[in-house]
Amino acid sequence: MRRAAILLAAVAAASPAMALAEVTEADATGFTAHGTVRVAVAPGQAWAVLVQPSRYWNAEHSWSGVSANFTLDPVAGGCFCEALPATAGSVEHMRVVYAAPGETLRLRGALGPLQSEALTGTLTVTLKAVDGGTEIAWDYVVGGHARFGLEQLAPAVDGVIGEQFGRLGDALGRLN
């Protein structure tokens, strides 16, 4: 697992499409990553792309290596999933627990190397109309038991999440 954490940190450090993101708290049992990006479209338009991760999620942060294999069903109980065509398999990355189109999307799940630990992660994405477009804000709150201190992995996870939202911002016409 330490190798996965080091690899995740190296990939995150090399990612150019970062949004404004930061780890706001971290200790051995959990962390919170927060970030924002402003885009030049209305909240409804931002929502339409947000719920299509295949349009912006970096394939380097997938199990299949292909962004087109991502899907998200934006209703309570819906899956943020990935098809694994090479093995006829699939991966559940997160599950939708709250969906208010154009306003809030909340998902629960442990992403990437966090998935193999006894962790719970909640990702809340809010869309707010601002002058000239929309502010997209997110909080990814992770906690539970892991075989390593979560404060060690928090910056890398923050970097990967920030990269995905940066890519979303680029797809929508980033303002910041």
Can you read off the two tokens belonging to residue 68?
Answer: 């087109």
Rounded distance, CA 81 to CA 92, Å?
A: 4
Tell me if 61 is assigned to some domain.
no
pLDDT at 140: 98
| CATH code of 32's domain | 3.30.530.20
**Which pLDDT score, from 0 to 100, does residue 20 have?**
78
For residue 101, give every residue at least 6 positions away whose Cβ sits within 8 Å of its Cβ, in sequence order, or none: 44, 47, 74
pLDDT in tens, the chain (176 residues): 343 443 344 444 444 466 778 999 999 999 999 999 999 999 999 999 999 999 999 999 999 999 999 999 999 999 999 999 999 999 999 999 999 999 999 999 999 989 999 999 999 999 999 999 999 999 999 999 999 999 999 999 999 999 999 999 999 999 97
Cβ atoms of residues 18 and 150 within 8 Å = no
Does residue 73 form part of some domain? no
Global pTM exceeds 0.85: yes
The answer as to whether 89 is a domain residue is no
Range of the domain at 153: 2-56+96-172
In-domain check, residue 160: yes
In a domain, 68, yes or no: no
What is the pLDDT, as a whole number, of residue 17?
Answer: 61
Domain total in the chain: 1
Measured distance CA(25)–CA(34) in Å, rounded: 9
Q: Is 70 domain-assigned?
A: no
